[in-house]
Structure 1
């Protein structure tokens, strides 16, 4: 139920276990990936290192296909990260793919649609058929019933699953929210050789500005297909970017050097697309006492975190991994039983992303909680690690592994990492 990135990854996993997989998608989607109504799809999306690795795991050779079709693969110095306008120390393993989400998703859809036993069907899920404590089918808005032994809710933030379950006498999952009031805007520019081999450049506010846009404009750019730059700017509360091109260019000129260069030398192609992300939301199905058999939830229907950290596509892929692990396990042998093993595995991934994003969000003065235990210590240690990552390659390598979801956030609390950061900062103080 839902044929976007999360649904397609789930379908890829299920294709190895099911005789037939139906991907039910409400939007009419063209071969180029256009046609979906989700307004955030036009925004620049990041494919973190872990997400890129999972893309190649489930769709081998897809990176090469994307690059051959115009996407850009950046490695080493082609990928540049800044904090408060300062270029961070070089880090091992920097590798990112410059591609728009519609282009990427279209390629994944073609791969999934070519799998034996997979059908892409135009229609909208409108309910479940539940009998004997398990899923037996999916009702569509068009009045059909599709028989099903196993159903995946990949319908996004607007998922109606809780209401469907409540109507059938099942409890709704507990919901956790954090209001962040983020706005972001994306524009595309015609790309030449103005930035050399740069593929990705990204700047975030840090400790020096108290995580405010006072020292340097928060934003990023990526070289994408069609010889274009995709540029995104972000801001919270009253500093959300608008759709006026002059304002967008003015903010770019207050940013890092790559943004200033593109603003001054490249022609904007098309309009500025804006999006307002009000709150992060997660639904914890693992805390329920009862749940229908043959049913799982993936993507934003399970957890939707602040997109400024670029975790969404990677979370979807890791949830597909969780589904595969569950189906391989003894508990997954009978698809008609509640998928507690899946929700437990997916919960570990969601917990890590939620911890990373919400702890960072709490640095914004308008975000009022809830605060995790020991937040002040976490914030202080996080500030020091961020400062050290600007100066030291070893600290920055570890830092980026966590940001790219290659390692768990607790990696940053290891004594060796904290000690290294302390030594770096003490040496820097001594040179002042």
Structure 2
């Protein structure tokens, strides 16, 4: 980066409860940025919500709210502003955790003034680039989902092929777009093809193009998706639906990079990165003889497995708030949800995953006019959903360890539902250390995690 001043409109918020740190850091940054200091993390979160903040610098250890929780709340609200964490108490694990929950950068005290300025400029520049390429935002506080996001970020800048696995509606295309947006191909085309939506007899022409007169109705030359992608990204969604003949033709392109238009003889060369996705278990498809093993291994260089929404119900309140803002009617505030309605949403199985939730919130935003969604406003198939039952005396006709586990599952399930999916708040209510709480609910399979 150059040594000139950053844009005048770049506003930095520094959050810490140590006055000396606020004074020293703001003195370093003020010649280069607009600076606001805040000694209260909760007040800092309110300032961010009001808007006008371009970069957040927070420390790790604060009495009111620790820095990791500040980052979680910023990201949980759907805000993608860059965040730098500065601490003198952390270690490598702290840096990894900060990155996983959404920090853009991490610095250990003492920080040299020049380094702090450079890191701030880099974070702001990176945010500008991401805004230009329109990187999709994946909202989650689930440990498994955060691991998938982290792998996605690491592999994005490599040329490796990626296979994205997940049920319908989990957001596989969102991850494909994130891979593209964070790659060196971000300014090149992103071309998506839904292999299940194109008739098999037209798919070859769709992918590779055709020459004039190649078949009946081919009145002019057509450029295929491989050509259209150029040096960008070609996303092949629902690749498990390809027939064996089309699989063979795709394999040739992946092996050599060469292809030709239907009805043509000239060899063309693909420079695109291929990302594929499917809701099928391709390893089982290979064993059943429905998918070529050699194509599977060509595609499966890096695998991203996107968990279904029912395995990360702690994300449901975050997504509900996000979609409520997205679909808020003109002149109206985003919908609120009663605790009973939110608990019912968290207890539902979501066979259609995030897509089903998005469609539901869009529908409610149109139909509910009072500002708060009540249990009675939810569609009929939600009315019969079984919620976490109140704690009852354990049955005596089963072993102690089974009865104890059942009680623990019910207890923690109710805690999380009452906290609207906020695991940190649920941990505080339980009087437990957050990491201890996370390990416990993972062991009970209430959230997923490695």
Could you say which structure has the higher helix fraction? Answer: 2
Find the structure with the greater CA-based Rg. 2
Could you say which structure has the higher strand fraction? Answer: 1
